[in-house]
Amino acid sequence: MKTRQLLHLAVVTTLLVPGLPAQKKSGIDLSGIDSSCKPCDDFWRFANGQWVDKNPIPATQSSWGTLSLVVEGNRERLRVLLEEAAAAKSPAGSGERKIGDLYAACMDTEAVEKQGIQPLAAELGQIEKISSAKELLDTLVAFQKNSPFGPVIVFARQDSKNSSETVASVSPTGLSLPERDYYFRDDERTKAIRAEFLVHAARMLTLAGAPPEAAADQARAILAFETKMAEPRLTNVQRRDPNATYNPLGLKGTAELTPSLDWKAMFARLGIPESTQVIVSEPAYLKAVEKEFAATPLATWKTWMRWKTIAGAAPYLAKAFVDENFRFQSTVLTGVKEQQPRWKRCTSLVDETLGDALGEAFVKKHFPPAAKSQMNALVENLRATLREQLEASTWMDAETKKNAILKLNAFRAKIGYPEKWKDYSVVKVDRGNLFASIESASEFSRMENLKKIGKPLDRNDWGMTAPTVNAYYSPLRNEIGFPAGILQSPLFDMEADEAANYGAIGAVIGHEMGHGFDDQGSKYAASGDLRNWWTPEDRKKFEARAECVVNQFNTLDVGEGLRHNGRLVVGEALGDLGGLKLAYRAYKRALGGKEAPVIDGYTGDQRFFLAFARVWATQLRPEATRLRLTTDPHPLGRFRAIGTLQNMPEFHKAFQCKVGDPMVRPVDKQCELW
């Protein structure tokens, strides 16, 4: 089960603290406001118009917004840390030495160029030697340990109905396009992407040594093969139902779906006990894979395996591979014009592969204890406020309220960083060999995951690294997480008035808490188990309230005749709506009945809503917009602000908006959760 994340959202706040000055600065960037736009016509434009006009999307980005500035600020901080670590030559085996050496290896483009395609020689050679169906199957089993790119992947996950235990999960993998429907949609944009994929795959295969004509034929075979493999896959909306992907079949039942694969040998190779529970996410897909073992020619399987090997390694190979990978993945799919500087890609690589070692260094320098204390206090204020909301709810009966409050009380809040950092001592980092270093780190990560199978849940695990600019909720763990990366300037302002901080980070925390009660999270109990805790009548009432949000986002016009898929974004939209209402009430609770000051001409309520909308001052390239609408469960930033505020009478009152204004939905269509 994947954690639920608030896409690229990161801000920090402070509570009212006795002894601080009675009035602080507003915390609102007045220069970003477009006063030529009426707030009741388009509040997103009113709050952000001037900033958006003055800050076009950089050529290296698919989107750009205020949160991008936090990301870029952290990258600069990481760059300093990594350059210092690379120059310091700390003791061999230490985390500081490993992150410094990996960064140096990544920055050594001359050494990477000299290697060319050589890092893949052994794996490609192993594929080339396959001469029978048995050897194909044996190779797919062998690759599960270090290169799990085959049609399925085995990994550790919590048992959804016994969440304290970690079991084996078998899930589909192997598609090259963004998601299933890209193989079947017939609109011109999607057809153009498929055509570009054929060019892309052929170019990659040619770079790896295939003759151009043969490479073009192989690319067509790859697309045809993946189209067959995509057909039985669940859609991104179907996968939102956790019951649909919970199929506890055990090793025996899994093997019955795909008897051609030697599952016992695979589990032995991966160190997984045969007695462990096995959850199959998509049984129909496994049946289809079994058919393809017999129906698809051996040569096609080998071509596909070569392609997946090259595609997976491309970002870490010579410049020609990196450039072609960027052209398709970034330019074609998201409209990005230029690659990011090498140092930015290298900081991201170190964060992805040695995240705890880098995170430990980041926290020491950029996350003071006071920030953690402030966040803990804020989380508890929102928790208390949500408890009051649940107790006062008029549509839930006593039993449902009791269970909802039990779940809220059980929320774990993780702030900043893990209690125990990972030990990377077995990872071998060679300053002169980037690819070998990545392979070692990847194998460590893979085996660390697999070793959890059959063991009790490790509560120390985090869903993100400490420098990450994001936040998350995990329904199986019933926990919310806020990495240290979100607790940075310019959005964390100790001198700012509480209205700005509650409107920003308060809404973020409320959003993550809200995921515990969205269309997916509401199906999990306080323990994290997938179990119904609603009375039948209350569940129907909840579904009706969720349906209001589905209908709203199905009808929001995002331009060029495009719409969100309401059933795809309903969870995030519910999180936004419930989270902002919760943050607003928590803000009022923090004021303790006192009137907020008017600062820079805006009341406390107005500044609260300005801060919320300012978080979503994000613009996207057209290609990125279309990709997001089809694959991302988060609504587009502009409409996270507009769609949420259209349902909030508190906002309407603050800016004197009336029924009939674009920012006010008809009263009988306004959505509300609690």
Neighbouring C-beta atoms of residue 447, cutoff 10 Å: 14
Name the active-site residue from 479, 529, 576, 661.
576
Which residue intervals of the chain bear CATH 3.40.390.10? 4-77+354-418+462-669
- Model pLDDT, residue 15: 32
Mean pLDDT of the chain: 94
Task: Say if residue 81's pLDDT is above 90.
Answer: yes
Q: Which residue has the higher pLDDT, 454 or 496?
A: 454
Q: What is the mean pLDDT of residues 534-551?
A: 97
Model confidence over 144-200: pLDDT tens digits? Answer: 988 777 899 999 999 999 999 999 999 999 999 999 999 999 999 999 999 999 999
Q: Is 397 a catalytic residue?
A: no
Indicate the angle between helix axes 133-146 and 121-128, nearest 10 degrees. 160
Instruction: Give me the mean pLDDT over the 318-338 stretch.
Output: 98
What was the pLDDT predicted at 495?
74
pTM of the model: 0.93
- Domain 4-77+354-418+462-669: give its CATH superfamily: Collagenase (Catalytic Domain) (3.40.390.10)
Length of the chain counted residue by residue: 674
Q: Per-residue pLDDT tens for 375-423?
A: 899 999 999 999 999 999 999 999 999 999 999 999 999 999 999 999 9
Question: pLDDT tens for residues 587-630?
Answer: 999 999 999 999 999 999 999 999 999 999 999 999 999 999 99
Q: For residue 490, what pLDDT is reported?
A: 55
Element (H, E) at 162: strand 162-172
pLDDT, position 492: 65
pLDDT above 70: residue 17 = no
What pLDDT, on a 0 to 100 scale, did the predictor assign at position 167?
97
Q: Give the pLDDT mean for 532-543.
A: 97
Quick: pLDDT tens for 188-231. Answer: 999 999 999 999 999 999 999 999 999 999 999 999 999 999 99
Contacts of 497 (CB under 8 A, 6+ apart): 23, 24, 25, 26, 27, 596, 597, 599, 604, 607
Tokens of 442: 């990847």
Is the C-alpha dihedral spanning 443, 446, 452, 454 positive or negative? Answer: negative
H helices of 393-506, in order, are 398-410, 434-450, 498-501
Per-residue pLDDT band at 26 (split at 50, 70, 90): confident
Question: Judging by beta carbons within 10 Å of its beta carbon (0-12, 13-18, 19+), is residue 436 exposed, middle or buried?
Answer: middle
Six-digit token string for 98: 């490993």
CATH topology of domain 118-316: Neutral endopeptidase; domain 2 (1.10.1380)
484 DSSP 8-state letter: G
Which DSSP symbol is given to 99? H
Number of H helices and E strands in the chain, helices first, is 27, 9
Taking 90 as the threshold, does the pLDDT of residue 5 lie above it?
no
Q: Where in the chain is the domain with CATH 1.10.1380.10?
A: 118-316
Q: What gap in Å lies between CA 241 and CA 282, rounded to an integer?
A: 12
Q: What is the pLDDT of residue 12?
A: 32
360-376 pLDDT, tens digit each: 999 999 999 988 998 89
Which tokens is 653 given? 């009152």
Packed helices 604-615 and 507-514: angle between N→C axes, nearest 10 degrees: 70
pLDDT, residue 298, reads: 98
- Tell me the pLDDT tens digit for each residue of 645-671: 999 999 999 999 999 999 999 999 999
Q: Starting from the edge strand earliest in sequence, which strands make up the sheet with 278-280, in order?
A: 152-159, 162-172, 278-280
- C-alpha 429: how far from chain center: 27
- Position 632 pLDDT exceeds 70: yes
Q: What is the pLDDT of residues 43-79, one digit of tens each?
A: 999 999 999 999 999 999 999 998 899 999 999 999 9
Catalytic-labelled residue, pool 96, 123, 512, 519: 512
Closest CA relative to residue 454, chosen from 661, 167, 647:
167
* 281 and 245 Cβ atoms separated by less than 8 Å: yes
Structure tokens at 377: 């206090």
Question: Is 512 noted as a catalytic residue in this protein?
Answer: yes
Contact by Cβ (8 Å): 498, 358: no
**pLDDT value of residue 410:** 97
- The pLDDT value given to residue 491: 65
What are the structure tokens assigned to 434, written together? 């980037």
Stretch 490-500: mean pLDDT, rounded?
76
Mean pLDDT of 421-436: 97
pLDDT the model gives residue 149: 77
Closest CA to 469 of 485, 490, 482, 484: 485
Among residues of the chain, what percentage have pLDDT more than 90? 90
Report the SS3 class of residue 477.
coil
Paired tokens of 522: 């509401």
Task: Give dist(CA 206, CA 216) in Å, integer.
Answer: 9
